[in-house]
Amino acid sequence: MTSLTEAFRSAARGAGATADDADLDAAAQYLLGRWTEPQRHYHDVTHLSAVLDVVDRFAHLAPDPDRVRLAAWLHDAVYDPRALGDANERDSAEFADGLLQSLGTPEEVAAEVARLVGLTAGHATEDDDPDGELLCDADLSILAAEKQRYIDYTSAIRREYAHVPDGAFRGARSQVLTELLRLPSIYRHAEIRDQWEDRARANLSAELEELA
């Protein structure tokens, strides 16, 4: 079984990184340290692994799957539940660009990975962006989880926002769920949509009813 460190090294090599293996492994360990910060209850290594698993499963849908894998590693590299707006995603994108360039990744590749990271702020992609669509679909894969796993996810999100009063949290969370349900489709790639769309909508609708 490939370790996460080995997976990062492989993706970085596939994206053109020229740093030696020791530096790539050190970068992976540094990132894993970020993914295990104490404020993370959902946005943790389990989430990272789940997103990477989806990217691997549907890699055939992406022209540059290693760039998508690196974006998965870096999309929540900066995560502060108290941050406003899309600050986490913007900071993660900037961090991604700098880290990848420091590992010898071509500048244009680092910039593209940073662009992909930025997409996770609103999960909005252009019509012809299969790499971005796969990253966003993978990031939202939890919405189509089986019932108990989805309940565990919502509980973990609530713990991350424990500083927010219950009424305010319910209102904000309800707005997020409503906006997702109003989308023509939650998942962009047809192959993924066919498998997950109905279950995701059922989960979102059930949670919205509980929040009412």
Domain boundary assignment for the chain: 1-139, 143-212
Cβ-Cβ contacts under 8 Å for 43 (sequence gap 6 or more):
35, 76, 79, 160
Measured in whole angstroms, the distance separating CA 118 from the mean position of its chain's CA atoms is 10
pLDDT (0 to 100) of residue 126: 84
Ordered per-residue pLDDT tens for the chain, 212 residues = 569 999 999 999 999 999 999 999 999 999 999 999 999 999 999 999 999 999 999 999 999 999 999 999 999 999 999 999 999 999 999 999 999 999 999 999 999 999 999 999 989 898 899 999 999 999 999 999 999 999 999 999 999 999 999 999 999 999 999 999 999 999 999 999 999 999 999 999 999 999 98
Cα-based angle 111, 131, 110 (whole degrees, multiple of 5): 15
Architecture of domain 1-139: Orthogonal Bundle (1.10)
CA atoms within 13 A on the CB side of 168: 5
